[in-house]
Amino acid sequence: MKLTPAQLGEFDREGYVFLPGRFSRDEAALLNDEARKVYALRREEVWREKSGVARSAFAAHTYNEAHGRLGRHPRLIEPVEQVLGERVYMHQYKINAKAAFDGDVWQWHQDYGTWKADDDMPEARAMNIAVFLDDVTAANGPLLFIPRSHKFGALDAGHDLATTSYPLWTLDRATVTRLAQNGGCVAPTGSAGSMLLFHSCLVHASPPNISPFDRTIVYLSLCAVSNHIRRFKRKEWIAHRDFTPITALADDCLDDLVRARKARDAAE
């Protein structure tokens, strides 16, 4: 799947592009079912909120078949390669949960800030591409973006070890306020199966989910192979060290798993 010239222009200008309905409801439901199975595992890769509910499941593409296929899906790999102009490897794979009532905040940050500080990624030649597994609404903790904030490059950040269960390099209120006065603040929302592609310097956050509706999003953090990380202080399942270029699967790579899920449902 390739981006159109208009979408490429929007990405360059705003720092993100929203792509509604790129995965079917059936594909999203399959991946969401598998995400719940992953969250139930007692693995170190599954981080939990202070309440005990799942917050993030890292590296699920290495131990779950459906997510392993999503990690090589052409609808995700091809547009990132198109933007970066190079083959990519998986820097990070995570399934972020915002559990109903208990999903906690993600503070204002840039992803490249963490990748640079913790992993010594040379340049911001990496980005996130995300798939909504639930409907994302204004009520259930959507992502918040400051459009055009990627144009300022990597910003000074502090290492927040206390706010949530996950350590993060975060931006102070004055910086966020200054950026928002120029770029505003948006919350892309849409149905399950929609996609977001956003620049690694785009400033973003998400509020707590106090609604009765879950919000689950899968993020592939894909990096240009020539731009691979140089520091290996974080665990390998957080910042991967296999810099092999991803070979995309066929576009229908989830179809047999969708059919098997439907057959199981019909038999029950």
| 131-173: pLDDT as tens digits | 999 999 999 999 999 999 999 988 987 776 666 556 778 899 9
- Which token pair is 95? 């399934």
Helix (H, G, I), strand (E, B) or coil at 108: strand
Low-confidence ranges of the chain (pLDDT < 70): 160-166
C-beta neighbour count of 178 within 10 angstroms: 14
d(CA 189, CA 159): 29
- 169-186 residue pLDDT tens: 889 999 999 999 988 999
pLDDT of residue 268: 73
d(CA 163, CA 142): 19
What pTM was computed for the model?
Answer: 0.93
Q: How many CA atoms lie less than 13 Å away from 77 in the CB half-sphere?
A: 19
* 203 phi and psi angles, rounded to 5 deg: -75, 130
Residues 19-233+244-267, CATH architecture: Sandwich (2.60)
- Which token pair is 204? 């973003």
d(CA 175, CA 9): 26
